[in-house]
Structure 1
Amino acid sequence: MNSNSKTQKKTRIQLLHQYYSYTGFYSFIKKSLKKAIIPSILIIVGLWAFNTYVFNLNDGLKHITNTFSTPSILTIFFLSESFLGLIPPEIFIAWSKKMNEPVLMLTILATLSYIGGIVSFFIGKTSLKIKKIRTYLDGKMSKYLKNTKKWGGFLIIAGALLPLPFSITCISAGIIKYPLRGVLLFGLFRFVRFGLYGLAIYKIVE
């Protein structure tokens, strides 16, 4: 009985692997990573070079912290994460290092990004009721809509964990009526993403 169940489980994994291979999921991730990893590395290296040779980032971040209130910065970040991820989260991760409790602030940022993904999901669902918005999103996000229909949860995991547009992935999930529980579950990988980026960026910012 146990042997049969193990065989069945292995067969399902093999079938999933074949499906994602045939539908191009792996090649999509590979291409997306090539496009996204280089800019991400350039951002981190650029922050280091800027901090070392041009302007002390710590002074700049202190100025931002003294000029803008924490709620204002968090609001801007949340809006960005809810609407297409307009501002690179790396900027906010670097800012969090200057807080009295940076790990707590990084966790808050990750939580806001996670909630922003959920908001994006409902934006996608709501767009189905508004023809102009649906037509716009269908045109702008046709590639992601097609891929989300094919790969579902795995694409949400990739969007949450890898340097891919998480908000757009969640909007696509809402448009195709992907189950909310899947977005809530797979979106948790967003916390892993922020933790890894925090480790890298915190080494640059003193």
Structure 2
Amino acid sequence: MTRKTEKELPDRRRFLLKNLLRGFLWLAVIVIAFIYARKNYDFTLEAVLGPVYDRPTVVYMIFLASEVIFGIIPPEFFMIWSLRSEVLLTYINNIIALSAISYVAGIIGFGIGAYLKNTRFYRVMKVRVFGKFEKHLNNYGGFLVVVAALTPLPFSGIAMLVGSVHYSFKKYLWFSLFRFLRFLVYGIIIWEANIF
């Protein structure tokens, strides 16, 4: 093992753990706020979402748009929406659907990056949104996709960046499967918090 490789392993681990910790802290804030609001106020998601609440197709479309546009609405809010029926099987189906939509949004992001890489739009987005992750892509390669899939890093933005450098699409598809693991773990935590 070369010195560079020996140094990369702790750096990769530290980068992953730092972002995982950020993700779990963010999840804890959302879950605690949700439980507090539900127990202390007349708070219902139905009141917040109005007519959209009982229209899964509309919610899924909003989620897809959010995920493609760099996750402007955190996925955890959609997972909380999935609690609406309080039937475990329905909840599981919603979590699977949300994770699949997020995975597809990443593929769309990859395609956007590959297609638009020479446009003014891409250059602006690179400077303003995901250019700061370019150094991580240079340092970690495909591992950055794994970290983005598991943590709050902008998954679609990272996918665009990776697509723009002609990264292997096949490898991207494999690495981004970790997105399903994130939704599984977060989904379990949110379900348990709802029972609390």
Alignment TM-score, normalising by the size of structure 2: 0.84
Pick one of 51, 57, 65 that aligns with 1:71: 57
1:136 corresponds in structure 2 to 124
Q: Which amino acid aligns with 2:151?
A: L
Structure 1 letter corresponding to 2:96: T
Unaligned runs of 5+ in 1: 1-10
Q: Whole-Å Cα distance in 2 between the matches of residues 105 and 34 of structure 1?
A: 25
Bigger Rg, which one:
1
Letter of the 1:50 counterpart:
A
Q: Which amino acid is the alignment partner of residue 89 of structure 1? A: P
**1:19-56, Cα deviation, whole Å (9 max, x unpaired):** 344xx434433543454443332112111111111234
Deviation string, structure 1 residues 167-201 (Cα, Å, up to 9, x no partner): 22111111222111111101111111011111111
Q: Of 142, 160, 164, which residue of structure 2 is paired with 1:171?
A: 160
In structure 2, the gaps of 5 or more residues are none
Q: CA deviation at 1:114?
A: 0.5
| TM-score normalised by length of structure 1 | 0.81
Q: Tell me how many residue pairs correspond in the alignment.
A: 189
Partner AA of 2:184 in structure 1: G
> d(CA) in 1 for partners of 2:6 and 2:82?
39
Partner of 1:124: 113
Amino acid at match of 1:83: I
Q: Which stretch of structure 1 is more off in the superposition, 102-111 or 164-173?
A: 164-173
1:75-90 mapped onto 2 (5 Å cutoff):
75-90=61-76
How far 1:204 moved relative to its partner? 3.1
Decide whether the 8 Å contact of 2:22 with 2:151 is kept in 1: no
Distance 1:44 1:83, change over 3 A: same
Instruction: Summarize the alignment of residues 44-59 of structure 1 with structure 2, pairs less than 5 Å apart.
Output: 44-56=31-43
C-alpha contact 2:19 2:147 (8 A) present in aligned 1: no
1:18 maps to 7
The aligned residue for residue 61 of structure 1 is 45
Q: What is the deviation of 1:112?
A: 0.2
Deviations, residues 77-133 of structure 1 (Å, cap 9, x unaligned): 011111101101111101112246111111000000000011111111122131x11
SS in structure 2 at match of 1:193: helix
Root-mean-square deviation (CA, aligned residues, Å) is 2.4
Matched, 1:191 2:180: yes
Runs of 4+ in 1 over 6 A off after TM superposition: none
Name the CA distance, whole Å, in 2 between partners of 1:201 and 1:179: 34
